[in-house]
Amino acid sequence: MITHEQIPTVLDHPVYDTDGNKIGDAKHVFLDDATGQPEWVSVKTGLFGTSESFVPIQDASLVEDHLEVPYRKDTVKGAPNVDVDAGGHLSEDEEHRLYEHYGIDWDAAWQQANQPGEGGWAQPGTPPRGVDTSDTAAGLGTARPDAGPDDAMTRSEERMHVGTERRETGRARLRKYVVTEEVQQTVPVRREEVRVEREPITDENRDAALSGPDVSEAEHEVTLHEERPVTETETVPVERVRMTTEEHTDEETVRGKVRKEQIDTEGVDEDRRGT
């Protein structure tokens, strides 16, 4: 449980869930009207802290420089939206809805708070149930009971802080696959054909012509050849392909609404305001 002395340490510090995930930053602490102990903490969540969720603080613990709550991040971000009134006060209906969301027995908690003695309704001087104890309740400046003898009023205003978050926009991958295509190449091929040559009998070949019998039968055979195209394939590397990323910087205009307080005076002479 967080004590009154630890509240300044909790405010504006990170809040983590049971899995060690950061939920957001603590903005306000609300007290239980029965026990006067810290009961709720509001956490700024969402992009740039645009949303505010309420988390029970009874079982939370302060670890080093951050607050750990026994709830998951999605449970906290899904808590019912609560509009805190100008006095920084949670209504009974709003608390009831929050109790149901976090699975806390409302009747049991109410009966425990209603018991006389320590922590019960009999405790005098405790602030109203669900009262914000921070300097700026619900984001607006309010006069604290111990404002001091000068009776000064603090004027506050919101400031917008713009940052960036990295998110995944898509994926690219390299995929290698096989296709078959037709290729064509012309090559010369040779073939043999039979050609009959006749030569007359001359003095030079007469002896060869008369070497055989005068009249006889004979047969002579010639083998013919031709070339045919044949193919074979081989695998050779042709290039290396890889993917890299390039970072480009663009400019975007972010618009938001911030609130600021103005202070008017009543019953003061206009001519003497600046004196």
Alpha-carbon span 42 to 5, nearest angstrom: 18
**Cα–Cα distance measured from residue 142 to residue 136, given in angstroms and rounded to the nearest whole number:** 6
Taking alpha carbons only, the member of 65, 64, 69, 56 closest to residue 19 is 69
Instruction: Return the axis-axis angle of helices 106-114 and 92-101, rounded to nearest 10°.
Output: 130
Pull the structure tokens for residue 271. 């001519």
Q: What is the pLDDT of residue 226?
A: 95
% of the chain exceeding 90 in pLDDT:
20
pLDDT over 90 (residue 180):
yes
What's the pLDDT score for residue 146?
Answer: 41
Domain that includes residue 125, residue range: 4-147
User: In the predicted model, is pLDDT for residue 117 greater than 60?
Assistant: no
Q: Is 208 left (phi over 0), alpha (psi -120 to 50) or beta?
A: alpha
Band (4; pLDDT cuts 50, 70, 90): confident
Count of domains for the chain: 1
User: Is residue 29 situated within a structural domain?
Assistant: yes
In a domain, 179, yes or no: no
What is the rounded average pLDDT of the residues 76-89?
73
Residue 255 lies in a domain: no
User: Which stretch of DSSP H or E encloses residue 41?
Assistant: strand 38-45
Q: How many residues does the chain have?
A: 275
Q: What pLDDT is attached to residue 263?
A: 87
238 part of a folded domain: no
CATH number of the domain within which 23 lies:
3.90.50.10
Reduce the DSSP state of residue 97 to 3 states and report it: helix
- Condensed to tens digits (0 to 9), the pLDDT of residues 13-55 reads 889 998 888 888 888 888 877 777 888 888 887 665 567 889 9
Interatomic CA distance for residues 29 and 2, integer angstroms = 10
User: pTM to 2 decimals?
Assistant: 0.41
Comparing 58 with 88, which gets the higher pLDDT?
58
